[in-house]
């Protein structure tokens, strides 16, 4: 929203508050502030208070999701157990597929040696 001078400069603290109210959702906050999502991303690059509001709200959302997953695992819900093991249990071998990467000596590139044999072929005229 334009300030008193008519320009579209935003107070980073006001933007951060709009982000907190929208739970860190940039598009929702941009609609509330009547600016573009690009403007919010731009402010986040320049202003720590805006960047921090986004990070904190998203962190809270992820924590909330992890709590819900934890409850589902403890309730024995198969989808939750499967998801947990495929993500957090990878180091224990719970993966859908395994990737095998080959490397050369000391992790470097694989050296390929190509050998071509030059064997003479006898023709009919040489048989006689």
Mean per-residue pLDDT, 7-23: 90
Quick: pLDDT tens for 52-93: 999 999 999 999 999 999 999 999 999 999 999 999 998 898
Q: Phi, psi at residue 83, to the nearest 5°?
A: -60, -45
Residue 2 has pLDDT above 90, yes or no: no
Q: Are the C-beta atoms of 67 and 78 separated by less than 8 Å?
A: no
What predicted TM-score, i.e. pTM, was given to this entire model? 0.62
Residue 98 has pLDDT above 70, yes or no: no
| Integer angstrom CA distances of residue 35 from 5, 8, 20 | 16, 8, 16
Q: Are the C-beta atoms of 19 and 40 separated by less than 8 Å?
A: yes
Tell the burial category of 105 from Cβ atoms under 10 Å away from its Cβ (0-12, 13-18, 19+). exposed
């Amino acid at each position: 929203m334009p300030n008193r001078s008519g320009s579209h400069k935003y107070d980073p603290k006001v933007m951060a508050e709009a982000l907190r109210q929208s739970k860190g959702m940039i598009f929702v906050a941009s609609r509330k502030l009547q600016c573009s999502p690009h403007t919010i991303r731009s402010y986040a690059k320049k202003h720590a208070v805006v960047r921090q509001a986004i990070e904190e709200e998203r962190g809270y959302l992820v924590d909330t999701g992890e709590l819900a997953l934890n409850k589902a695992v403890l309730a024995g819900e198969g989808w939750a157990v499967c998801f947990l093991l495929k993500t957090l249990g990878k180091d224990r071998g719970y993966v859908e597929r395994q990737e095998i990467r080959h490397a050369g000596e000391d992790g470097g590139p694989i050296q390929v040696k190509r050998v071509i044999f030059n064997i003479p072929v006898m023709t009919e005229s040489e048989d006689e």
